[in-house]
Amino acid sequence: MNIPTNLKYTKTDEWFNPDTGAMGLSDYAQGQLSDIVFIEIIVSTGETVAPGKPIASVESVKAAAETYASVSGKVVAVNEDLSGNPEILNTDPYVKGWMVKVEGGQASGLMDAAAYTKYCEERAH
């Protein structure tokens, strides 16, 4: 499982990059969902998001899930490439698979890579 150390994580398996303001779905989450066939970002540039607010709807061959904002902030960019290529979420969830970028996002309260790794391992049992 790929859990980059420069990112912060939520208990609902989203990641946040404090350097770029990007957020998305973790490698663990995409693995659980299996082949992703549809993604719809449901927020637009200029909107304000907050933890717990859905930013995207994701469907795989066996499940459907919401992705929630990992931090608060104003949306400054939305990844338009995802809707036409939902498989990006499976192959590259952390770089090409970013969903939205926000400004002013604070990572405090999120898990670091070590804590998230432990959290994922616990659920594996």
Partner 1 sequence: MTYIPHSPKERDAMLAVIGVKSLEDLFKDIPAKHRYPSLDLPPALTEMEAAAELGELSTSNENIQTDLVSFLGAGAYNHYIPAAVDHILRRGEFYTAYTPYQPEISQGTLQGIFEYQSLICALTGMEVSNASHYDGATAVAEAANMAYAQFRGKRGRVVISPTVHPQYRATMRTYVQGMGLELAGDDPNANLDAGPEALESLIDDNTALVIVQYPDFFGRVYDLSKLIEIAHGKGALVCMTVNPTALGLLKTPGEMGADIVVGEGQPLGIPLSFGGPYLGFFTTRKQYIHKMAGRLAGETVDNRGQRAFVLTLTAREQHIKRERAISNICSNEGLMALAAALYLSLLGQTGLRQVAELCYHKAHYAAEKISKVKGFSLCFDVPFFHEFSVYCPRPVAEINDHLLEHGILGGYDLGQDYPALKDHMLVAVTEMNTRDEIDALVDILAEGNHD
Angle (CA) 84 30 58, round 5° = 50
Helix or strand holding residue 81 (H, E): helix 81-84
> Binding segment for partner 1 among 6-14, 59-67, 72-80, 88-96 (CB under 8 A)?
59-67
Q: According to the binding rule CB under 8 A, does residue 1 interact with partner 1?
A: no
Neighbours of 57 (CB within 10 A): 14
Quick check: 40 binds partner 1 (CB under 8 A)?
Answer: yes
Instruction: Answer yes or no whether residue 61 interacts with partner 1 by CB under 8 A.
Output: yes
Among 1, 63, 95, 114, binds partner 1 (CB under 8 A): 63
Which residue is listed with tokens 């608060």? 72
Minimum gap (Å) between residue 40 Cβ and partner 1: 7
Q: Binding of partner 1 at residue 124 (CB under 8 A)? A: no
Q: Which one of 32, 42, 47, 90 is in contact with partner 1 (CB under 8 A)?
A: 42
Q: Which of 45, 62, 81, 114 binds partner 1 (CB under 8 A)?
A: 62
Does residue 78 sit in helix, strand or coil? strand
Which residues neighbour 41 within 8 Å (Cβ) at sequence distance 6 or greater? 55, 56, 78, 79, 82, 83, 99, 100
Name which of 26 and 60 has its Cβ closer to partner 1: 60
